[in-house]
Amino acid sequence: MSLPASLKSRLGLPLIAAPMFLVSGPALVKAACRAGVIGSFPTANCRTVEELDRWLADMADDLKRAADETGKPTAPLCPNLIVHRSNTRVPDDLAAVLRHKVEIVITSVGSPEPVLKPLKDAGCLVLADVASVRHAEKAVAAGVDGLVLLTAGAGGQTGWVNPFAFVRAVRKFWDGIVVMAGGMADGQAIAAAETLGCDLAYMGTKFIATRESLAKDGYKEMLVKSRLDDVLLTRAFTGLETNMLRPSIAAAGLDPDNLPMRGSIDIAKDINAAERDKPDAKRWKDIWSAGHSVSGVADIPSVAELIARTAAEYEIARHPERSRP
């Protein structure tokens, strides 16, 4: 496998707590990193670059204290840069990430090329979200260190490719870092991803339903009550295929089986407006996403508890003989 030994030695699990819009914040990231899992967050979760600077400084200080207390390094934190051309904050967010000397960055929703050179020059590992073999090839040609394969079953804006086929297709031409995103419900799934040829897995939905996440209590409770059949793939809210929770759509007064045309509901704009307490904020802010792993959400634990359970499941999957009487 292609994960650097200096990074692998700091992980208790080959796992990234996925970066989630308005869900991943400092408390979740710090708890994940302390428990041996890479903690990531979208820089867009910070309202300003100044807030991003504060988040990065706070997280770095906390993880240094944890390392000093235990005598061993924590897993690294990992900002997620949304590199789509519509994001005017990319240069400023990139500058903040460079100032704080982060070790890993994930790029999403666009080519990593505009941010790749300064990150690589700073010694940062760059992982790029990709949803097709063609995009994977382009990211490799650009010079990324790793690929996050967005497969069918991821929460929010999702991929469409079968994870088994996607990983094997990419491994035909790429020997760098591979991360599987989509449907990671437990430690058994992480072990299966490794068997396929992945270095790391993404887990998102189960981290939403943790005590440290920024998600509303109602959102977390809905995840506990929901199952796979409650996840709806739709283009209505973003114009892109997005996995959303049917119960939250119905609670907003919409019929999940008869939604408006694709992209006619600007959910991202309305959520941002709601977060700023604007009077034009829409009720869509309480339409929530989830991945296919939602059937595995049974309660609302702490991040440390979730990771400990997942690690136990992973060890049983890797060494089934140890679980036998």
pTM: 0.91
Q: What is the pLDDT of residue 280?
A: 40
Q: How far is CA 39 from CA 31, 156, 204, 291, in A?
A: 8, 18, 11, 18
Residue-wise pLDDT tens digits, 175-213 = 999 999 999 999 999 999 999 999 999 999 999 999 999
Percentage above 70 pLDDT, the chain: 91
Two structure tokens written together for 47: 């309202």
Q: What is the pLDDT of residue 323?
A: 66
The domains of the chain are located at: 5-213+298-323, 224-293
5-213+298-323 CATH, one of 3.10.310.30, 1.20.1280.50, 3.40.50.720, 3.20.20.70: 3.20.20.70
Is the pLDDT at 262 greater than 70? The verdict is: no
Tally: H helices and E strands in the chain: 13, 11
Beta carbons within 8 Å of 290's beta carbon, 6+ residues apart = 155, 205, 208, 223, 226, 230, 231, 243, 244, 245
Are 146 and 10 in contact by the 8 Å Cβ rule? The answer is: no
Is the pLDDT at 278 greater than 80? The verdict is: no
Percentage above 90 pLDDT, the chain: 77
Q: What is the pLDDT of residue 266?
A: 55
